[in-house]
Amino acid sequence: MKFDEFRILFLVAGLVLTLIAASPVLSLISLPRSEERFSELWLLGSEHKAENYPFNVSDTTQYRIYVGVGNQLGELAYYAVYVKFCNQTQQLPNSTTSEPSPLPPLYEFRFILSDGKVWEAPLTFTIKYVLLQQNFSLVQSISINGIVFPINCTSTWNLDRNGFYYQMFFELWFYNMTIRDFQYHNRFVGIWLNMTSS
């Protein structure tokens, strides 16, 4: 081995050993970390668990679910949760473009939540005045927490899944101080409902 090759090998080995020896000191130097700020939105079933959601529903039967929000924004937030109802062809929120569904909200929750805190509320609903025909169903109204909302939402028979399908979904909005209005927070959850009997 030539002297120049030996010298390069010695320098590389020395540099590696120096970095290993200095690593405990380097770990003490911390760069400012950017904390991820977000909000959580969830639904729980009738037993306050992530199971036993209503699915095969009939009119005049009352169902219960729970909606919850968690604030991890690093500051106090003013939230709104909008409850909407649609059939299988109507437009849901678009997560890619951060656009809410164009459907009007039927019911809403509004609350202020401190950073690191959670909010939860029960929601009871009853599908009312359902017309079922051979390949067609019409839900005329829905009761949410005791308030009746006319919806006149139709669905056609789904051959692949054997049913008339609707969805109740929940959009999360927060108050934006810059625009001084509520803004869609690009979060939504929902449950599918199969209306096959009345």
Whether residue 129 is predicted with pLDDT greater than 70 in this model: the reply is: yes
List all residues 6 or more positions away from 13 whose beta carbon is below 8 Å from its beta carbon. Answer: none
Q: How confident is the model at residue 123 (pLDDT cuts 50, 70, 90)?
A: very high
- pLDDT confidence of 66, banded at 50, 70, 90? very high
Query: Pick the residue with more confidence: 27 or 139?
Result: 139
In tens, the pLDDT along 19-30 reads 566 655 545 554
**Confidence class of residue 133 from pLDDT cuts 50, 70 and 90?**
confident
Task: Say yes or no to pLDDT of 69 above 80.
Answer: yes
Q: How crowded is residue 48: how many other Cβ atoms within 10 Å of its Cβ? A: 14
CA distance 169 to 107: 11
What domains are there in the chain, each with its CATH number? 38-197 (2.60.40.10)
Mean local confidence (pLDDT), 175-187:
95
